[in-house]
Copies of this chain bind each other. A is one copy, B any other.
Amino acid sequence: MKRIAIQGERGSFHDIAAHAYFTDEQVQLTCCTTFEEVFEKVGEDPTAIAMLAIENTIAGSLLHNYELLRASGTTVVGEQRLHIQHCICCLPDDDWSTVVEVHSHPVALMQCRSFLGNHPGIKAVEAEDTAGAAAYIAQKQCRGWAAICSAEAARLYGMKILEDSIEDNKHNFTRFLVACHPHKADFLRPLTEVDKASIVFSLPHEEGSLSKVLTILSFYDINLTKIQSLPVIGHEWEYLFYVDLTFDNLTRYRQSIDAITPLVKSIKILGEYREH
């Protein structure tokens, strides 16, 4: 049995991602309101596992989650990709003619902008969570209210789906990371299966400092699958680089990290895991 801390309620995309990742196992969810709370839970309970969205094909990287991950003391042990599809749902006795408000997470509302634009009579109201909005409407029997959430959440809370796949862009994928206490990492993914790593390093604002690091990585046959620079807040000329690497040989990867370490200002391995 795995205890997974997620942001959101049962039926949320984090819940779906957790079940997709731990597909053959029993999952016990700890539902949190914020990502900060997710990491607090994992800090309090060393057997708990965090599941958190890190990037979306439309919204981009969740920079705040990168920051939380970096500061959390947890390590990444896995990743899960999920196709994000939104439906609009309401109480069984409501329908298009009676719905006046739609509640959801602001990101979900944004991802259904064209749809909402075609329904100007329905007011879009922010909620903490997609599935949480459906749960609230079902529990409080809010007539005239709809939620935007996954079809799984709609079914879970006994809501009627008015329309499915209402997201503007059908290429809507989110990548989730699985993180836990470092002592638990080897239990969750054997090191022999590791072929991907997420690292973050900082570099001084010097010509060519990034190219040196990437050249060394390429000499060691390490692939880059993602790179994102961020200015370090308060240090205007310093940059953080979040980089995902894939490799065939764990030893070569470890050697490449040793080789770039003297050339960076600071470096942190966010985790080593198996590519999804």
Contacts and interface: CB of A to CB of B under 8 A. Distances in A.
Interface in A210-253: 210-212, 214-215, 217-219, 221-229, 231, 233-234, 239, 241
Contact of A227 (B63, B124, B205, B228): B228
Give the number of times this chain occurs in the complex, counting copies.
Answer: 2
Interface stretch (A54-62, A154-162, A181-189, A190-198): A54-62
A43 interface: no
A152 interface: no
Nearest to A63: B60
Contacts of A63: 58-60
Contacts of A59: 63
Interface residues of A, number: 42
Contacts of A126: 106, 109, 124-126
Given A60-B63, A63-B58, A63-B59, A227 B207 contact: no
Interface string A123-139: 11110000000000000
Contacts of A212: 218
A100 interface: no
- Those 5 A-B pairs whose CB atoms lie nearest each other, nearest first: A208-B218, A211-B214, A106-B106, A124-B126, A211-B218
